[in-house]
A and B are shown apart, each in its own frame.
Chain A
Amino acid sequence: MNILNYADAFFGDSAHWQDYDGIPVRLGEHVQYTLMALGIAAAIGLPVGLLTGHTGRGGNVLALIATSGRALPSFGLMVLMFILLGLGMAPVMIPLVVLAVPPILVTTNEAMRSLDPAPVDAARGMGMGEAQVLFRVELPTALPLILSGLRSAAIQIVSTATIAAYVSFGGLGRYIVDGLYQRDYEKVVGGATLVAGLAVATLLVFWAVARLAVSRGVRRPG
Chain B
Amino acid sequence: MIRIDSVTKRYPDGTVAVDRLSLEIPDRSITVLVGPSGCGKTTTLRMINRMVEPSEGTILLDGVDIQQQPVNTLRRSMGYVIQNAGLFQHRTILDNIATVPRLLGWGKEKSRARARELMERVGLDGSLAKRYPYQLSGGQQQRVGVARALAADPPVLLMDEPFSAVDPVVRKGLQDELLRIQEELGKTIVFVTHDIDEAVKLGTMVAVMRTGGHLAQFAPPAELLTDPADAFVEDFLGADRGIRRLSFFSSAGLDLLIGPIVAVDASAEQIAAAGRAGAPYLLVVDTDGRPVGWGDPAELAAGAIDTDGLLSHGRPFTAGGDSLRAALDCAVLSPTGWAVAVDGEGRATGVVSQTSIGEAIRGAHAGRATAGTAQKVAP
Contacts and interface: CB of A to CB of B under 8 A. Distances in A.
B88 A141 contact: yes
Given A125-B49, A126-B75, A128-B103, A217 B132 contact: yes
Interface in A134-184: 137, 140-141, 143
Interface residues of B, number: 31
Interface in A97-147: 116, 118-129, 132, 137, 140-141, 143
A121 B86 contact: yes
Contacts of B91: 215, 217
A80 interface: no
B72 A217 contact: no
A143 B90 CA distance: 10
B132 A215 contact: yes
Interface in B49-85: 49, 51, 71-76, 80, 82-85
A217 B133 contact: yes
A127 B73 CA distance: 7
Interface in B38-52: 46, 49, 51
B65 to A, nearest CB: 18
B99 interface: yes
A218 B158 CA distance: 28
B82 A121 contact: yes
B232 interface: no
A137 B96 CA distance: 11
Interface residues of A, number: 23
B88 A119 contact: yes
Nearest to A119: B86
A123 B133 CA distance: 15
Interface string B136-178: 0000000001001100000000100000000000000000000
B134 interface: yes
A118 B91 CA distance: 15
Nearest to A129: B72
B279 interface: no
Contacts of B71: 127
Nearest to A118: B86
A57 to B, nearest CB: 15
A166 B303 CA distance: 113
A218 B72 contact: no
Contact of A127 (B89, B103, B145, B158): B103
A3 to B, nearest CB: 45
Contacts of B132: 215-217
B86 A127 contact: no
B46, B99, B145 — which one has the most chain A CB atoms within 10 A of its CB? B99
B88 A137 contact: yes
A131 to B, nearest CB: 11
A215 B93 CA distance: 13
A124, A126, A128, A129 — which one has the most chain B CB atoms within 10 A of its CB? A126
B340 to A, nearest CB: 47
Contacts of A127: 71-76, 100, 103
A220 B134 contact: yes
B87 interface: yes
11 contacts: A116-B89, A118-B83, A119-B87, A122-B145, A127-B74, A127-B75, A127-B103, A128-B103, A215-B90, A215-B91, A217-B132
